[in-house]
Amino acid sequence: NLSVTDMAVSKEGKVYVATNTRGIVTYDEQAGCLESIAHDPYNADKLKSNRLKAVFIDEDNNLWTSYSKHGLSISSSSFGICSMGHVASINKRNERDDIISLAYDENGYLWLGTEGYGLFNSGITDGSQLPDIVPNSRSDDNSVTSIFLDSNGDLWLGIYRKGLFFRKGTLWKMFLEGMSPYSIVEDNSGNIYVGTLRDGLFRLSPENGYAPEPIIVGAAKYIPSVSFDGDRTAYVATSS
C-alpha cells in the first residue's frame, strides 16, 4: 500500500504520484507500466528524501517536488531525474517546516504554501498583497494545504481547518468553511474539484456560482489528491 500525498500529470499524460515513504511512483497508461523514483543517499542529484509532500508540473514541463523537512527541488523537463536542482528556502524559518503546496501564476511567480507559516510568493517581498486569511505567524491554522491557478488566472487556496478561498481580481470569496482542502484541480469545462482531509470530494461549477456539490462521501473521506490527464481521465487518491 502507498500513502499518497499528491499527484501531477505531465504533458505526455504520465502520472507522477508523490508518496510519504517511497518517493515518486510514475504511471504510464500507454505503456501500461509503473516505475519508482527513489532517494539515493550516494547521489546528490536524485530525490533528497522519499518522504514527499507535493509534486507540481509547470508550463515548461519541469517537475517540482517538495519534501518533509527537506525543502524543494526541480528537475529538467525530460523528467529523467538524472539531475535535480535543490532550491533554497525563500525564508530561513521554512527550513524547519514543510512546503506542502506550490503553483505558478500568470506572471511567472512561484507561490509556496507552508505547514504553519502561511503563504509566500516569489514576486512579493513585503506581504502587502497576500490575503489576511493566512497571517505570517506560526500556527497550524496558517497551513496552506493547496494552491491552484485556474484557466482564468484566478487563485484558489485551501487553508487547513478554514476552508477554500477564491480570489477574483482583488476580491476574495470563501467556500467549504471549516474544512481542509488538500487538492484543487479543474476539468476542461471549468469545473473545480476539491479533495478534502475529512469531508470527501466536491465539485464547484461556474454555472451555479461555484456552489459546492459533494461527489465522494462516506468511507473515502480523505482525498489527498486529484488529477486529470490529457484525455481528461480523473485520478483520485483516497484513504481507502
pLDDT at 69 over 50: yes
Predicted model pTM: 0.73
Looking at the predicted structure, is the pLDDT value of residue 220 above 50? yes
What pLDDT does 87 receive? Answer: 43
At 159-191, the pLDDT tens digits run 999 999 998 888 889 999 999 999 999 998 899
pLDDT band at 83 (very low <50, low <70, confident <90, very high): very low
Rounded to whole angstroms, the Cα distance separating 15 from 38 reads: 16
DSSP letters of 105-146?
Answer: -TTSPEEEEESSS-EEETTBSSSTTS-TTS-SS--GGG-EEE
Residue 158 has a pLDDT of: 94
Count the neighbouring beta carbons within 10 Å of the beta carbon of residue 2: 12
pLDDT band at 67 (very low <50, low <70, confident <90, very high): confident
Q: Which amino acid is at 179?
A: M
User: For residue 126, what pLDDT is reported?
Assistant: 46
Mean pLDDT of 200-218: 88
Percent of the chain past pLDDT 90, that is, above it, reads: 21
Query: Is the pLDDT assigned to residue 49 strictly greater than 90?
Result: no
The radius of gyration computed from the CA coordinates of the chain, to the nearest angstrom, equals 17
Which pLDDT score is estimated for 186?
92
> What pLDDT was estimated at residue 66?
83
**Average pLDDT of the chain?**
78
Cell of 220: 473515502
Say how many Å lie between the first and final Cα of the chain, rounded. 10
CA separation for the pair 145, 93 (Å, rounded): 18
Q: 16 - beta bridge partners?
A: 8, 26
